[in-house]
Structure 1
Amino acid sequence: MNKGKSSIDTAMIRELAQVLADTDLTEIEIELEALKIRVARQVTVHATVAAPVAAAPAPAPVAAAAAPAAVAAPAASGDDPRKHPGAVPSPMVGTAYRRASPDAKPFVEVGSAVKEGDRICLIEAMKTFNDIVAPRSGTVTRILFDDGRPVEYGEPLMIIE
């Protein structure tokens, strides 16, 4: 299927895209003579978690001494962040990051307004960085993890109210 000067085979690209969809791959690349084609798709992880399996207590968040408002601890009334309706649970096991790089500003802070689908943090798992997006619009009222700390599946990352 050539149109004008283009020698790109759009049917081949469509077939490669279908291979991505059929196999759950995120990227495929082929090289034929002088032609090199790479087809990739971005995978966004949406946090949806079933009820916790074990009744083990959640690890207590550690607040920095210089900025106690940055990471808020649960209230003395014993409220469990896992049961909070605005909790954003980790969809996977990995290392959670509040920023894209050490010198970048955090994606969100306590008090930040977010919209559904906004990137709120990253989780590195198996040398792949996964975007964690806001499951709802609202205001970040608590951040329950420290930057660069391992997180477990289902562990609350933050509260969005």
Structure 2
Amino acid sequence: MSVKFKGNPVVLSAHTIKVGDKAPVVELVGKDLSSITIGGAKDEYQIINVVPSLDTGVCATQARRFNQEAAKISNAKVYVVSMDLPFAQGRFCTTEGIENLVVLSDFVDKTFGKAYGLLLQSGPLKGLLTRSVIVINPQGEVIYTEVCEEITNEPHYDNALNAIK
């Protein structure tokens, strides 16, 4: 898979998750420092909205858009995952009025980034997650993925949302 940051190629970790894969179960840290598990089978769809850092314009736009869309969805839990510290995530949510997303951090041991193959291994953002969206059905199977070819570009929101309709 080819991913670029500002036109320059970067390398992702390991196997990047794809449609048809069983979604790995991983434990992440909530903005309140709670432990939250995502992936695997659940009673509803999971939309995992992945950003390098909520402290950038494109990432903030992506989180705001999924926050708006999440308010309209009754059969899915919508997450945003980044490497930001939970304290910064909480501040972002308060400032931006983000109330419909579950905000999670992969800062502890990068379990999510490694398991889903979304950890940047090279480039200026090395150690962060690449911009992507993953949709998991209630049976725990990945039914949609988008890894943005250019990290500075927003994902195709409607494609991800249509995967659960």
- The structure with the larger Rg is 1
TM exceeds 0.5?
A: no
Relative contact order, higher structure (CA 8 A, sep 6+): 2
Give me the TM-score of the superposition, normalised by structure 1: 0.28
Q: TM-score when scaled to structure 2?
A: 0.28
